[in-house]
Amino acid sequence: MNRTEKFEGRNLVLFFVVAFGWSWLLWLPSVVITVTDNRSLMYWMYDVDMSIGLGLVAIGGVVSTLGPLVAAFAVTGITEGREGVRKLWRRFWDLRLPGAWLLVSLVAPFLLVVVPRLIVVPLGYPLYLGWAAQPFMVLGWVLNNFTRSGGMSEEFGWRGYALPRLQARWSAVVSSIVLGAIWAVWHVPLWFLAGSSQQGTSLWLFLVNQILMSVLYTWVANNARGSILVAVVFHAAANTVAQMFPGSADNLFYWLVLGLTVVVVVLVYGPRTLMRRQREPRAIEATISK
Amino acid sequence: MRILLADDQERVRYGLRALLRQQPGLHVVGEAENAHDLLALTTVLHPDLVLLDWHLPDVPGDKVLLSLRQVAPELPVIVLSGQIGIREAALEAGASAFFSKSSPPDRLLDAIRRVVSASTDGRCDT
């Protein structure tokens, strides 16, 4: 199997420029207010200046996370036209995907976080189930994470547009590492944004986390025939469980479970495509036997 | 347009690659030497078109087409062969178009354009 040297480099660079440009420019005013006044934009507006201009900036902040989605559709539209846009959308809305992988994308993020957390409970670490008293709050998180914060807003771009093009040049694992690093860097302004979940946490641990998780995203997406819906569900589940059980980065067992899971996935499925080799002969044999 | 090549002969893939590289808007995003690799690459690369040699070493052409339909039902496939006699079999098996390897290369470009314009359900003989 060859991956040709012909690489859609220009289109991919354009995609990343638009994705980063959209999000970083719209985050910029909030970052400036945080850095200069150590307050969030909303708090600053309420407390200092309730102007229409700042209101527009706040609306910009709400749609700031849509950078990868906007970039994916814009670059696809420019380079591949309406048909390309239709195909990109179909990869989200095509329900003929392997159902088992939809289940994996829903359950795996919870296991990766909850299992290490349960391991340390006997050692005296509390489980933090504050959200259980307010289940509607979790529903809000799920909706937000599925649409604006991670799911649809990012996965049309990262796994929908970028991943197939990176895999045209590199193996699935190398593509995942490259994409994971870029994905992590895209989040960097959030460390300078008051109220974000990243503020005050370790950027380096986040980078490692995104690279390891990126391998799992590729594994799930490739085995679900590139389904963007599966990637969106995986992302929404991962963000939601991180909100339900914050502080995983401080738990050594989290890193052990995550690292071990990635190693097992790569060994079992193979670094080249992260898809089981047996899948293809089975598909062929199934059609032969018809 | 992102194109995936499937042919076990390196010189054929090289020729196709050289031909397509000169065309604006056409990108060869991957090459497969056999049906197993073709199916794997189709899944991870999401090409817009496959140029398929009918005589891959591991699986007969009609079975490859059926498997491609399972993985990517709407993916247009242009079958390539040196044997003009298999044209009907290829079209019957679901190929979007057939191209004889003995035909001039510009006719392949015509076929690609026609398949693109006909979208997923168009067929054309070349």
| Residue range A182-199, pLDDT digits in tens | 999 999 999 998 878 888
Instruction: Identify whether the C-beta of residue B1 lies closer than 8 Å to the C-beta of residue B25.
Output: yes
Tell me the residue ranges of DSSP E strands in chain B: 2-6, 27-32, 49-53, 77-81, 97-100, 124-125
* Per-residue 3-state assignment (H helix, E strand, C coil) for chain A: CECCCCCCHHHHHHHHHHHHHHHHHHHHHHHHHHHHHCCCHHHHHHHCCCCHHHHHHHHHHHCHHHHHHHHHHHHHHHHHHHHHHHHHHHHHHCCCCCHHHHHHHHHHHHHHHHHHHHHHHHHCCCCCCHHHHCHHHHHHHHHHHHHCCCHHHHHHHHHHHHHHHHHCCCCHHHHHHHHHHHHHHHCHHHHHCCCCCCCCCCHHHHHHHHHHHHHHHHHHHHHCCCCHHHHHHHHHHHHHHHHHCCCHHHCHHHHHHHHHHHHHHHHHHCCCCCCCCCHHHHHHHHHHCC
pLDDT at A157 over 70: yes
Give the number of residues written for chain A: 290
Amino acid identity of residue B59, one-letter, is: V
- Taking contacts as CB-CB distances below 8 angstroms, the residues of chain A near B2 are 8, 168
Query: What are the chain B neighbours of A2 within 8 Å (beta carbons)?
Result: 13, 30-33
Residue A216: closest CA among A180, A178, A162, A167: A180
Give A18's pLDDT tier (boundaries 50, 70, 90). very high
Q: Which residues of A touch B21 (CB under 8 A)?
A: 6
Phi, psi angle pair for B80, to nearest 5°: -115, 140
Give chain A positions within 8 Å (CB) of B56.
none
pLDDT in tens, A50-65: 666 666 667 777 889 9
Beta-carbon separation of A4 and B45 below 8 A:
no
Task: Tell whether the model's pLDDT for residue A284 goes beyond 50.
Answer: no
| Chain A residues with a Cβ under 8 Å from any Cβ in chain B | 1-4, 6, 8, 79-80, 83-84, 87, 90-91, 96, 164-165, 167-168, 172, 222, 225-226, 272-273, 275, 277, 280-281, 283-284, 286-288, 290
> How many percent of chain A have pLDDT more than 70?
86
| Other C-beta atoms lying within 10 Å of the C-beta of residue A147 | 16
Q: Residues of chain A with pLDDT > 90: what percent?
A: 58
Using CA coordinates, name the residue in chain B closest to A275. B40
- The pLDDT assigned to B120 comes to 46
ipTM of the complex: 0.82
Give φ, ψ of A274 to 5 degrees: 55, 25
Q: Give the span between the Cα atoms of A232 and A37, in whole angstroms.
A: 35
Looking up tokens 């999401």 gives B46
- Tell if the CB–CB gap between B41 and A80 is shorter than 8 Å: no
Q: Is the pLDDT of residue A6 over 60?
A: no
Interface mutation vs chain B, best among A287, A288, A289, A290, most B CBs within 10 Å: A287
- Tell me the C-alpha distance between A34 and A19, whole Å: 22
pLDDT surpassing 70 at residue B75: yes
Write down the domain spans for chain B: 2-119
- Give pLDDT, residue A48: 63
Tell me the backbone φ, ψ of residue A174, rounded to 5 degrees: -65, -40
In B, minimum Cα distance to A91 occurs at B46
- Which of A87-101, A177-191, A266-280, B61-75 is least confident? A266-280
For B11, counting Cβ atoms within 10 Å of its Cβ (0-12 exposed, 13-18 middle, 19+ buried), the class is exposed
* pLDDT at site A13: 95
User: B72: which chain A residues are within 8 Å (Cβ-Cβ)?
Assistant: 225
Does the beta-carbon distance from A80 to B59 stay under 8 Å?
no
Question: Is residue A1 pLDDT above 80, yes or no?
Answer: no
Token duo for residue A240: 């939601």
Residue whose entry in the numeric block shows the structure tokens 């302004």: A189
- Stretch A4-25: mean pLDDT, rounded? 85
Higher pLDDT, A230 or A6: A230
Q: Which pLDDT band holds residue A127 (cuts at 50, 70, 90)?
A: confident
Q: Measured between CB atoms, which of B17, B33, B39 is closest to A283?
A: B39
The closest CB to that of B36, out of A90, A96, A280, belongs to: A280
User: How many CB atoms sit inside 10 A of residue A202's CB?
Assistant: 13
- Residue A203 corresponds to which amino acid? L
Band of pLDDT at residue A228, cut at 50, 70 and 90: very high
A247 pLDDT above the threshold of 90: no
For residue A135, is pLDDT > 90? Answer: no
Which of A1, A225, A287 minimises the CB distance to B33? A1
Q: Among A134-138, A220-224, A229-233, B106-110, whose mean pLDDT is lowest? A: A134-138
Query: Looking at residue A290, what is its pLDDT?
Result: 38
Residue type, A145: N
Residue A92, pLDDT above cutoff 90: yes
Q: How far apart are CA A6 and CA A125, in angstroms?
A: 52
CA nearest to B69 within chain A = A287
pLDDT category of residue A89 using cuts at 50, 70 and 90: very high
Give chain A's mean pLDDT.
87
Which tops the pLDDT comparison, A20 or A10? A20
Higher pLDDT, A89 or A289: A89
Closest partner residue to A1 (CB to CB) among B1, B21, B40 is B40
- Band the pLDDT of B122: cuts 50, 70, 90: very low
All residues of chain A having their beta carbon less than 8 Å from the beta carbon of residue B40 are: 1, 272-273, 275, 280
* pLDDT tens sequence across B82-94: 888 888 899 999 8
**Chain A residue numbers touching B32 (CB-CB < 8 A):** 1-2
pLDDT(A285) > 50: no
Our CA angle for B47, A3, A78, nearest 5°, is 40
Per-residue pLDDT band at A281 (split at 50, 70, 90) = very low
* Tokens 């690369």, located at residue: B45
Q: Supply the pTM of this predicted model.
A: 0.88
Q: Determine contact, residues A235/A151, Cβ cutoff 8 Å.
A: yes
Give Cα separations from A268 to A10, A27, A103, A273, A275 (angstroms).
Answer: 34, 40, 19, 11, 9
Chain B interface mutation, best of A2, A97, A161, A273, highest count of B Cβ atoms under 10 Å: A2
Q: Over the stretch B23-74, which tens digit does the pLDDT of each residue have?
A: 888 889 999 999 999 999 999 999 999 999 999 988 898 999 999 998 888 8
Contact A164 B46 (CB under 8 A): yes
pLDDT reading at A279 higher than 50: no
> Which CATH architecture does the domain made up of B2-119 adopt?
3-Layer(aba) Sandwich (3.40)
Q: Per-residue confidence at A42, pLDDT binned at 50, 70, 90?
A: low
How far apart are the CA of B69 and the nearest CA of chain A, in angstroms? Answer: 10
Contact yes or no for B33 and A91 at CB 8 A: no
